[in-house]
A and B are shown apart, each in its own frame.
Chain A
């Protein structure tokens, strides 16, 4: 699948979350293409012939990668992600982040700094939020991994996803999946009731657009309702 379940597209706030089961970028209809499929295709084709491949881009990008045969230096690995088991062979250097995005085609988790400083790559491992960029995929054979794709789906958003939309908890959207994964984890952590407590609990997620006040209000709304 293409980028169907990443952080809400900025335009998504124009629609009530439950009104449209297919947010922008999610369509697999022939002739429509997502930002991701567009970029993937440009990346593959180079910049030589930009216009003609666009129409063909969507079908090409939605076909999931076949599991590659074991290459030299790879290790067998079974990962449980969003309740689904994946068996693959992987270079042990592959971070959990890169494995999710590149091997399992779950690009909702974002790569920001790649050094544990920005929080864009936040996922849950056994229910706890971690930076997936600082962990090797081969360290997680027995773990339950949850990404933004496993949190909610278009039409069945997690309350935190819906609250981020309602409160405009983003501008460009790049940090948003990490913010939401952190925010969902906060619901179960020992965090005090005030806005300042939420800011403290969320400081591992950087938003360069500065959407912080709206993020805090989104998190607080969900906490009040839980």
Chain B
């Protein structure tokens, strides 16, 4: 691990002022950043410990929504009674990821910024456009079984690893950001960027931007949400494919639908195409299959991950079936 200057911020403004460039990193749980610093994948010059900031609370909003503080631990969010009751997809997603110890450390905002598990990104012996812009992508011609099939480019096929962020996408969450210029709110759908020719730029955040919280809108009345994660082993593993769905029925018809995919996209992947098929349609296997086909129609598999196309389709069909059974 390379040397860095360590500071501890006790006020938001102090943290914001300390992040003068991308070489200054906030640390919260540390589960992702410190791991990558040990690998020399991250080499920050300045570490700003933001754990003392008053951003751990989970609070209700006047319009019936919920704000997850940036420093709310994944375990606290997952086990929060309101999250379990009104945003089950988020609780399920969080509990399907990492381990109990990691969930006690990892934070809401840290999880938002979790970096890819692409093995070439994590190994400095290989080229990687995300780690070293312009160096090339070793993954496209390499071991790409775990990597993305949606939102890829000729420069990067790294998978977005988080479960939390897939659920937050299905819940229409928005990100609260504070900077020296003031505060702003960015819908999660606009927060992440596909790699294109700049895979090292993953979000809209700029140096000096501090995520202060995540806002969940009021739950869809009468809706039901489900997270389904498919992986190589039943625990402690990243997704090969996952789906977060929020569905509201009106009789036998689908009145409201949100579909987000994990394990297959370069960012938490909302499928507007699947949602368009579902809205107003009868909830039956034919509709679900059509939605799944629509979601994957632009998939671009690599040499070893074409299985993800059908796996993701089946994941969508299964999660929709579950979400509409008793809704």
* Contacting pair A131 B31 (CB below 8 A): yes
B117 CB → nearest A CB, Å? 12
Flag if A95 contacts B47 (CB, 8 Å).
no
A131–B47 contact, CB under 8 A?
no
Set B4, B79, B101: member contacting A119, Cβ < 8 A: B101
Min distance, Cβ B186 to any Cβ of chain A, angstroms: 28
The reply to whether the CB of B6 lies closer than 8 angstroms to some CB of chain A is: yes
The binding surface of chain B is classed by DSSP as mixed
Shortest distance between the CB of A122 and any CB in chain B (Å)? 6
- Bound CA–CA A189/B98 (angstroms): 16
Cβ–Cβ contact B31 & A134, under 8 A? yes
Could you tell me which residues of chain B, from 1 to 38, have a CB within 8 Å of some CB in chain A? 1, 3-6, 8, 27, 29-31, 34-35, 38
Tally of chain A residues near chain B (CB < 8 A): 28
Instruction: Determine whether the beta carbon of A130 is less than 8 Å from that of B34.
Output: no
Known contacts A130-B105, A138-B6, A138-B49; A204/B34 CB under 8 A: no
Given known contacts A139-B51, A189-B100, A200 and B235 CB-to-CB distance under 8 angstroms:
yes
Known A-B contacts A134-B35, A135-B30, A204-B236; the reply to A129 vs B104 at CB < 8 A is: yes
Which chain A residues lie closer than 8 Å to B100 at the CB level?
A: 129, 182, 185, 189, 201, 203-204
- Assembly CA distance A73 to B5 (angstroms): 9
Task: Verify A139–B99 contact, CB threshold 8 A.
Answer: no
* Min CB gap B7→A, angstroms: 10
Residue of B nearest to A129 (CB): B101
Residues of B within 8 A of A95 (CB): 34
Chain B hits for A114, CB < 8 A: 38
Tell me how many residues of B have a C-beta within 8 Å of chain A. Answer: 27
Say if the beta carbon of B82 comes within 8 Å of chain A.
no
B244 → A minimal CB distance (Å):
21
21 of the cross-chain contacts (CB-CB < 8 Å) are A73-B3, A92-B47, A93-B1, A93-B4, A115-B35, A116-B35, A119-B101, A128-B75, A131-B31, A131-B102, A134-B29, A134-B35, A138-B6, A138-B49, A139-B30, A182-B100, A182-B101, A203-B99, A203-B100, A203-B235, A204-B101
A residues apposed to B, CB below 8 Å: 73, 75, 92-93, 95, 114-117, 119, 122, 128-131, 134-136, 138-139, 182, 185, 189-190, 200-201, 203-204
Given A122-B101, A134-B34, A135-B34, 16 new contacts (CB under 8 A): A73-B3, A92-B4, A114-B38, A115-B35, A116-B102, A117-B236, A119-B101, A130-B105, A131-B105, A136-B34, A139-B51, A182-B100, A190-B79, A201-B100, A203-B236, A204-B98
